[in-house]
Structure 1
Amino acid sequence: MQSLSEKSKCHYSQPLHDPITPRQVDGTMRKYQQLALTIVTVVSLVAFLFYKHEYERLRYTLEYLDTFGKAPSEAEDIRPHCGYNTHHKVSTAPTDWVQVTSDLEVYSSFWDNQNGIGDPKIRSIAAVRKTTESPSDLSCLIWFDYEGTPAPGTCSVEFASERVHGHNTVEEDIGVLYLLCTADSKKLMLSKTPYMIQFKVGSSEPSQPVFVHESESLKSVINKSAVCLLPVENPISTLKVIEFISFYNIIGIDKFTIYGPVLTPLARYLLDKYSDEIGIEFEEKLFSSSQTFKLTRPVVKRVIELDCIYRHRDTQENVLILDLDQYVILELKATLQETLLALKGGSQYHRDVAAFHFTTQKVCLDMQHMKKGTLRLSQQVHTVGSMKEMGVAVLRPHLLTASAIGGPPNNQHISAATAVIHQYSVCSSTDNHNERRHLPTQKKFVDKLEKSLLYRKWIIN
């Protein structure tokens, strides 16, 4: 009986491995699905980060090409240097100028549609050594949208006309001119937009490419003004930059094109962060000296003036080309636009006046009145010398560029009782100056500057 009982126990005992139930199958499948989903998620994330990195590299390269005309090398260190006047994208000297010959270099190019009068052309701003003749066998290669190869073209030379008002009278060794280029195929010039041009002399190799700035003729220019700020020769303080931009923003300037380097790292940070809130636009355009010859200050001003006019011809009604020490002091009206409208002739100036000339007065600041943390413009000021015309003017790009194919532009002088340019400097011990009241003459400008968001953010930072 005992043996039967043991057999029965053996017979009815549970098997060593239970068969897999449907519930267990479902649980196992869920684990595999979760594992597969995790793998897919990780792979997708890695792919996203990789392609995002590649996209950023491509975007940076395109921006670099658009600014400097050649791609950055892999070994290039793009970290900004410490100190004054650094740029947030490059640390090496930019090659703004493109060399065509040892005596001819190009700074910038613009798509000039001739305002519908005549055939469109590419207008390039260049500098040439006057002791040599411009090459007679100058040609070009023009790159058009949706075209895989460049189209051959021809170029002619046109010296830029000098502005009569206040330009330098000393004979310079370097002249400023236009290179006017068109493709041999008229169909391409009329139907497609060029984006890059290379120059050739005879059978020589083509130059480095120059990007063509496209016109924005659909935008309105009424009541919009811009300042083009010339490069500085010495390091500057953030306060000086912030004062300048805040002041001109108060009198109605909403666009600043800064040729430099000019901006300090702190000034750039403040503008990047608060420009939308303040209601201004700004762009930096690095300006280096020519690769072949040294440019004097008057030539630099002339090149930047032409570049500024063509750069803003379809977006801004007025432009001023200024040094960091030059301030437009409005005696009667609060804004530049109101001042122009109040001039003799009223709204007639909208039709035919291409340049409004200012009188300039040199003023200097007495060092004993300079105090840390206060506005430079609110200090005790002494004047030096008499009022003169130094070439500062409100220029109207859409009329000046049209005058290239029309007659000479009309000019108008602004009396010192209406507005004057103050050229600031620091008084030296040898200056023979007469004491004057605080400048600017209307205290409201200083009050507004002290309330300016940009100035207050500079105080905080």
Structure 2
Amino acid sequence: MKKYHQLILLIFSIISLVLFLIYRHEYNRLHYVLEVFNFFGQPCNFSDLQTTDFILRQQDWGPQPMWQETDNGYVYSAFLTGKMKIKAIALPRDSNKLPKNCYIWLEDKKKPISGKFSYSKIVDGGGSSLVPHFYYCSAEIIDNTPFAVSFTSVVKKEVNMKKILLTDVTGSRNLNINTTICVLPSNFSKKKFVEFFSFHRLLGVDSFIFYNKDIPYRLSKLMINLSNRLDVQLAFLPWNFPKIDIFITRVIIENDCLLRTHSRSNFVAILEYNEYIVPTISYSINDIVKDLKDNVYKLSLPVQKFCINNANVNKPLALQNFEVATDARFNSVHFVFNNVNNNAVDTNNLDRTKASIHKYVKCENNIKTTTDFSMNKFSTDFIRSTLVQLLIHNQL
């Protein structure tokens, strides 16, 4: 009889455990549904955001940049940095054959005025034959407002000059954006895009600029229309770079991003989709940058190379892979830029006990590794974030 009592208790225990697991599963499903309803309203509203003929107004980062072919090279973007001072990002085909002339176009004039041209190298090229330059054009201060600039090697008729529209970064503005992340272009993956965005939004990043090579328009439109609900600023800038060069791409986008966000965003970081800013002991970007002094211009973060060994589609990649390669070749650093104090020149180097960049890559076989579980403290909020849940349930 005692054996039957034990059997009955065992059966009840198993049934209770099964019912508990079923309840927990259904609770999590209900929690997710309620989160989605609370976030989007009724399900039809989500569909409307994808098919609407309207796009919400976002932060104005100036005219959309575009590579334009000019005499002996290309110009990507140009910025009005003073009353009649212009700074453009260019990529000449030959550094020994640069433009000799520049012209500034004014809003109420049919003909441009001639300016004084000068230039400087942004970097030496990092071994590349392509060397990005800054082109400068300046003129006497006048009352009219410039809106475009042209660079030529020879004097041309006005109709043959290519205009590069100007982004005005002069004057003081209300710094309503705390942190902007500018994202380098790469081969598109919806999973990488959603997880990168969701994690950094979780950290408190309130502005993203995606340099867009192949992000589907449907997704970019949807994200912009969701931005009010996400309480974030989003921008997608075209990237039609005429060459394939990772080093040059990073240099140009870094400088375009810093000029574009000047006096508009307190802090700026330039990252790839597989790079995550991960605080070691804190939970937000603000905790990382709050102790910066006024004379600090750059915050240098160590890079850790995480090996991708697991790729379950139903879980964020960063919550599956914790093996860190002990590879000295990846001891490079990324920067978070402080754009508030123009006179700041110092760099503050952080160690891994405070924060680091987690870079998720394929590793060679038999590579030596250590483990780093610092990402785990974000796991609950990361997995439950609305866009990640929509992605997991194939609803995005």
**In which range does the TM-score fall when normalised by the shorter chain?**
0.7 to 0.9
Aligned residue type for 1:109: A
Aligned residue type for 2:320: Q
1:416 aligned residue (352, 358, 361): 352
Equivalents in 2 of 1:365, 1:98: separation in Å? Answer: 38
Equivalents in 2 of 1:267, 1:155: separation in Å? Answer: 41
Aligned residue type for 1:282: L
- Aligned residue number for residue 320 of structure 2: 379
- Aligned residue number for residue 108 of structure 1: 77
Equivalents in 2 of 1:158, 1:374: separation in Å? Answer: 47
Decide whether aligned partners of structure 1 residues 131 and 148 sit closer, same or farther in structure 2, where only a CA change above 3 A counts: closer
1:287 is aligned to 2:246: no
1:159 is aligned to 2:160: no
Equivalents in 2 of 1:453, 1:110: separation in Å? Answer: 37
Cα displacement string for residues 156-191 of structure 1 (whole angstroms, at most 9, x for unaligned residues): 1122368xxxxx8x42212122111123xx242xx2
Aligned residue type for 1:361: Q
1:267 is aligned to 2:223: no
Equivalents in 2 of 1:242, 1:125: separation in Å? Answer: 30
SS in structure 1 of the partner of residue 86 of structure 2:
strand
Decide whether aligned partners of structure 1 residues 444 and 266 sit closer, same or farther in structure 2, where only a CA change above 3 A counts: farther
Equivalents in 1 of 2:238, 2:359: separation in Å? Answer: 24
Deviation at 1:398, TM superposition (A): 4.3
Deviation at 1:383, TM superposition (A): 2.1
Decide whether aligned partners of structure 1 residues 228 and 246 sit closer, same or farther in structure 2, where only a CA change above 3 A counts: same
Asked if structure 1 preserves the Cα contact closer than 8 Å seen for 2:266 and 2:340, the reply is yes
Gaps in structure 2 of 5+ consecutive residues: 1-52, 54-59
Equivalents in 2 of 1:340, 1:413: separation in Å? Answer: 12
Cα displacement string for residues 297-327 of structure 1 (whole angstroms, at most 9, x for unaligned residues): 1111111111000000121011111111111
Asked if structure 1 preserves the Cα contact closer than 8 Å seen for 2:318 and 2:375, the reply is no
Decide whether aligned partners of structure 1 residues 262 and 241 sit closer, same or farther in structure 2, where only a CA change above 3 A counts: farther
Aligned residue type for 1:176: P
Equivalents in 2 of 1:133, 1:199: separation in Å? Answer: 13
- Aligned residue number for residue 130 of structure 2: 174
Taking the TM superposition and a 5 Å limit, the aligned residue runs for 1:222-371 are: 224-232=178-186, 234=187, 236-265=188-217, 267-290=219-242, 294-341=243-290, 346=291, 349=293, 351-367=294-310, 370-371=311-312
- Aligned residue number for residue 449 of structure 1: 382
Equivalents in 2 of 1:307, 1:248: separation in Å? Answer: 21
Deviation at 1:130, TM superposition (A): 5.2
Deviation at 1:240, TM superposition (A): 1.1
Equivalents in 2 of 1:181, 1:265: separation in Å? Answer: 35
Deviation at 1:267, TM superposition (A): 3.4
- Aligned residue number for residue 34 of structure 1: none
Equivalents in 2 of 1:192, 1:398: separation in Å? Answer: 28
Aligned residue type for 1:203: V
Aligned residue type for 2:296: V
Aligned residue type for 1:374: K
Equivalents in 2 of 1:129, 1:149: separation in Å? Answer: 28
Deviation at 1:371, TM superposition (A): 2.0
- Aligned residue number for residue 124 of structure 1: 88
Deviation at 1:432, TM superposition (A): 1.5
- Aligned residue number for residue 150 of structure 1: 112
Equivalents in 2 of 1:452, 1:249: separation in Å? Answer: 10
SS in structure 1 of the partner of residue 265 of structure 2:
coil
Number of paired residues? 332
Gaps in structure 1 of 5+ consecutive residues: 1-55, 57-62, 69-95, 114-118, 163-167
Asked if structure 2 preserves the Cα contact closer than 8 Å seen for 1:278 and 1:454, the reply is no
Aligned residue type for 2:137: C
Aligned residue type for 2:133: L
SS in structure 2 of the partner of residue 300 of structure 1:
helix
SS in structure 2 of the partner of residue 328 of structure 1:
strand
- Aligned residue number for residue 7 of structure 1: none
1:432 is aligned to 2:378: no
Decide whether aligned partners of structure 1 residues 131 and 111 sit closer, same or farther in structure 2, where only a CA change above 3 A counts: closer
Aligned residue type for 2:232: I
Asked if structure 2 preserves the Cα contact closer than 8 Å seen for 1:254 and 1:280, the reply is yes
Deviation at 1:449, TM superposition (A): 1.6
Which shows bigger deviation, 193-202 or 381-390? 381-390
When the two structures are superposed, what TM-score results if normalisation uses the length of structure 2?
A: 0.76
Equivalents in 2 of 1:182, 1:268: separation in Å? Answer: 37
Cα displacement string for residues 37-72 of structure 1 (whole angstroms, at most 9, x for unaligned residues): xxxxxxxxxxxxxxxxxxx9xxxxxx9x9436xxxx
Deviation at 1:216, TM superposition (A): 6.1
When the two structures are superposed, what TM-score results if normalisation uses the length of structure 1?
A: 0.66
Equivalents in 2 of 1:124, 1:361: separation in Å? Answer: 34
Equivalents in 2 of 1:223, 1:419: separation in Å? Answer: 22
SS in structure 2 of the partner of residue 444 of structure 1:
helix
SS in structure 2 of the partner of residue 313 of structure 1:
coil
Asked if structure 2 preserves the Cα contact closer than 8 Å seen for 1:128 and 1:175, the reply is yes
Equivalents in 2 of 1:219, 1:131: separation in Å? Answer: 36
- Aligned residue number for residue 46 of structure 2: none
Equivalents in 2 of 1:262, 1:389: separation in Å? Answer: 30
Decide whether aligned partners of structure 1 residues 203 and 148 sit closer, same or farther in structure 2, where only a CA change above 3 A counts: closer
Identity of aligned residues (%): 19
The structure that is strand-richer by fraction is: 2
Decide whether aligned partners of structure 1 residues 124 and 394 sit closer, same or farther in structure 2, where only a CA change above 3 A counts: same
Equivalents in 2 of 1:219, 1:305: separation in Å? Answer: 21
Aligned-pair RMSD on alpha carbons?
2.7
Cα displacement string for residues 244-276 of structure 1 (whole angstroms, at most 9, x for unaligned residues): 011111112111111122534553244133211
